Structure 1
Amino acid sequence: MIAQPLEDYLKAQESTFLTPAANLAVVIDSHNVDHVILLLSQITYSRIPVVTDHGKFVGTISLTDILSYQIQHNLSAAELENMDIVHMVKRDGLTLGPGYTLTEVFHKLVDESFLPVLDAEGLLEGIIARKSILKATNALLHDFGQHYEMSPK
């Protein structure tokens, strides 16, 4: 369990580590493979969220997922390019729900580069990237003493 003052300090920084869905590169589950490959090749992220056209979170997708699907199903590039991306989505990734705790964030970010944050209806609210939580933690380590008094027990 994270000490309450530390958790309070980090939670107050949520706006610095939670990237809202409106600011994310996402794909719709009905987009075709060509569109997604083009998007993934033009951005710096290796994996991005996939949502329905109503914003409900479906999973994530990467170029590796697409190539694995192509190989697994022995598809030519021509057969693959117009397929909907929904067939290739990684659905078993870790997510965060409403009221997530920082302990949960830290435990889950060990194995994921980012965590989708979902509301109670499963709509994508945003993501917490490992990089952004590390920046917030770095700020905590450098600034905590300016806001709290520390003394040994």
Structure 2
Amino acid sequence: MFSPEVEQLIKEKAGDFIIPACKIAIVQDDNPLMHAFLILTKVRYAKIPVLDSDSRIVGLLSLAMITDPMLTTQKVDTDVLNTMTVRDVMQTEFDKILVTETLEHELHLLVDNAFLPVVDENQVFQGILTRRELIKSFNYVAHELDEHYAVTPKTVTLEHQATHSQKQNISVI
């Protein structure tokens, strides 16, 4: 749990956390792989969201997912780009968050994900939360905390020290 002061500073930048859906390259699950291949090679993202016809996120797609079916032991078969769809190769298990998600949970998930798709309660895609944007916000907090608050070291009472020392000396047999 964050201290109220730190959380307040983070919330000052909260509007900057989520990159809105209108600024994100996406593909539809029924798009041919050729279309997705062209998009991924132009935008140079590692993965992009896959949406269904109702704008709900149903998967993630990477260039490797597209090229893998093209590679055989004998040749590179580009015909699959026109015969297969995004749905055939997309990743269907992935972490996502609700717009109302707690910061602690977002941070926990961002340890293993470069970005998290953000959805509303109907699973409609709202945008992405990137590890980069959150790190930028923590950088802001690190630089602004003492501008907003008087930061002083905690003083340790003798009672606290004694309790802490007793806990350290306990051994389990």
TM-score, normalized by the shorter chain, greater than 0.5: yes
Give, in angstroms, the shift of residue 112 of structure 1: 0.9
Matches within 5 A, 1:103-118: 103-118=104-119
Give, in angstroms, the shift of residue 77 of structure 1: 2.2
The count of aligned residue pairs is 152
Question: Are positions 1:63 and 2:63 aligned together?
Answer: yes
TM-score w.r.t. structure 2 length?
A: 0.79
One-letter amino acid of the structure 1 residue matched with residue 44 of structure 2:
T
Structure number with greater Rg is: 2
One-letter amino acid of the structure 1 residue matched with residue 126 of structure 2:
E
Give, in angstroms, the shift of residue 69 of structure 1: 4.6
Contact 2:69 / 2:80 at 8 angstroms: preserved in 1? no
Runs of 5+ in structure 1 lacking a partner?
none
- 1:12–1:80 CA distance, 2 compared to 1 (3 A): same
Instruction: State how far apart, in whole Å, the 2-side matches of 1:88 and 1:78 are.
Output: 15
Question: Are positions 1:45 and 2:78 aligned together?
Answer: no
Give, in angstroms, the shift of residue 68 of structure 1: 3.4
Instruction: State how far apart, in whole Å, the 2-side matches of 1:149 and 1:68 are.
Output: 56
**1:69-124 deviations in Å (ceiling 9; x for gaps):** 5569xx93213433210121112111111321111111111111100111100011
One-letter amino acid of the structure 1 residue matched with residue 67 of structure 2:
L
Identity of aligned residues (%): 29
TM-score w.r.t. structure 1 length?
A: 0.89
Contact 2:51 / 2:58 at 8 angstroms: preserved in 1? yes
